[in-house]
Amino acid sequence: MTELNQITLTRPDDWHLHLRDGAALAAVLPHTARQFGRAIVMPNLKPPVITVADAAAYRQRILTALPAGLSFEPLMTLYLTDTTPVVEIAKAVDSGFVKAVKLFPAGATTNSDSGVTSIEKTYAVLAEMEKLGLPLLVHGEETDPAIDIFDREAAFIERTLEPLLKRFPGLKVVMEHITTADAADFVKSAGAQLAATVTAHHLLLNRNAMFTGGLRPYHYCLPVLKAEKHRQAVVATATSGNPKFFLGTDSAPHPRSAKETAIAAGGCFSAFAALELYAQIFEQAGALEKLEAFASFYGADFYGLPRNTSKITLKKETWQIPASLPYLDNDPVVPLFAGETICWKMS
């Protein structure tokens, strides 16, 4: 697979993506569809995607926004609430296009105010998901404001995730966007029911990046970047070839006006050069030969979906990420690493 200056991979998938809606959707979708065959599409719209009917309508808007000539399959998710009815789970499985249910603890992140206020309220739904084999995707952070923001992922494992896996040992769970050594270790040591996605930004940046020379809103995302020792642990794990860890960009665009303001929105827009950024980190880790399975095999395997069959090629080539990209009227989106050079390019 590896030649000196180029690598060919099975077309990858993005197992955690925010596509937004309306004009924003139309602006960002082509970036993802150019690189990835499928993506797990997050349901945190305003209002959220709660029912299978909501997901069907959103899926149709995505397909309508897809430029001609690009083949891309949106894999839909439902936003779990305190009042999600149990019957929705069988409907989701029957739909064929809803592939998971997302748990946002209420208040944990962008548009999560309809999230779950206490996990017990969802037990009947989780039992049905366990029975029918529909995975639960978790934003793994406690929301108690008394917990230090850098400790919220570790606290979630202890207080919420570990008891949840014990109560529902057959429930497939993905711990999304892991950021800590605690999460990497926990996922590794748990049974096959638990896997994790890893973003490019959590692999490339530590928390200093939020403060270099001043406050950097484009490096602010949730979960927040962590200390270097955590970044290193996550890199070592993601590049180790362990099938429990796979690619999920958490690409989460916000307009410049929502980033360059007193209270900046959380989210990094990485879809523009996602695969190239992962290639860079795998190369730095001396593990380029592990990139294909991380990006193109393990996620599909966990979800029980066929692997993609077409190929894409990355070339060793230095290029500059643009300063901004079209998004909303007079309100562009600034991509992660805007203005910086990177060394791989998808051809």
Q: Print the binding letters for residues 16-55 with ligand NCD: x by CB under 6 A, - otherwise.
A: --x-------------------------x-----------
Q: Residue 54 in 3-state DSSP?
A: helix
Residue with smaller CB distance to Zn ion, 113 or 289: 113
CB of 345 to ligand NCD, least distance (A): 25
* CA–CA dist 248, 199 (Å, integer): 5
Amino acid code (one letter) for 254? H
- How far CA 183 is from CA of 4, 107, 154, 175, 328, in Å, comes to 34, 21, 7, 8, 36
CB of 291 to ligand NCD, least distance (A): 23
Active site residue 329: no
CB of 19 to Zn ion, least distance (A): 11
Identify what 134 binds: ligand NCD, Zn ion, none; CB under 5 to 8 Å per kind. none
**Considering 250, 301, 329, 331, which one is annotated as catalytic?**
250
Identify what 99 binds: Zn ion, ligand NCD, none; CB under 5 to 8 Å per kind. none
Would you count residue 250 as binding Zn ion (CB under 5 A)?
Answer: yes
Tokens of residue 213, six digits: 């020379």
**Cross-strand partners of 245:** 196
Would you count residue 110 as binding ligand NCD (CB under 6 A)?
Answer: yes
Would you count residue 109 as binding ligand NCD (CB under 6 A)?
Answer: yes
120 backbone dihedrals φ, ψ, rounded to 5°: -55, -35
- Are the C-beta atoms of residues 116 and 103 closer than 8 Å to each other? yes
Would you count residue 222 as binding ligand NCD (CB under 6 A)?
Answer: yes
Residue with smaller CB distance to Zn ion, 153 or 250: 250
Identify what 248 binds: Zn ion, ligand NCD, none; CB under 5 to 8 Å per kind. none
* CA–CA dist 201, 250 (Å, integer): 9
Stretch that binds Zn ion, among 32-40, 250-258, 295-303, 324-332 (CB under 5 A): 250-258
CB of 204 to ligand NCD, least distance (A): 15
Give the ranges where 96-240 is alpha helix by DSSP (H): 123-132, 152-156, 162-167, 181-189, 200-204, 228-238
Identify what 179 binds: ligand NCD, Zn ion, none; CB under 5 to 8 Å per kind. none
**CB under 8 Å to 257, separation ≥6 — which residues?**
331
CB of 163 to Zn ion, least distance (A): 23
User: Footprint of ligand NCD on residues 127-156 (CB under 6 A)?
Assistant: 139
- Are the C-beta atoms of residues 60 and 25 closer than 8 Å to each other? no
CB of 222 to ligand NCD, least distance (A): 4
- Are the C-beta atoms of residues 215 and 331 closer than 8 Å to each other? no
Identify what 219 binds: ligand NCD, Zn ion, none; CB under 5 to 8 Å per kind. none
Identify what 199 binds: Zn ion, ligand NCD, none; CB under 5 to 8 Å per kind. none
* CA–CA dist 110, 185 (Å, integer): 27
User: Footprint of ligand NCD on residues 238-297 (CB under 6 A)?
Assistant: 250, 252, 266-267
Binding-residue total with ligand NCD (CB under 6 A):
11
Residue with smaller CB distance to ligand NCD, 253 or 344: 253
**What residue ranges in the chain does DSSP mark as E strands?**
6-10, 14-17, 38-41, 73-79, 98-103, 136-138, 173-175, 194-198, 245-247, 311-320, 325-328, 331-333, 341-346
Binding-residue total with Zn ion (CB under 5 A):
1
- How far CA 173 is from CA of 244, 264, 341, in Å, comes to 11, 30, 36
- Are the C-beta atoms of residues 126 and 135 closer than 8 Å to each other? no
Residue with smaller CB distance to ligand NCD, 140 or 297: 140
Residues assigned a catalytic role: 250
Contacting residues toward ligand NCD, per CB under 6 A: 18, 44, 109-110, 139, 221-222, 250, 252, 266-267
Contacting residues toward Zn ion, per CB under 5 A: 250
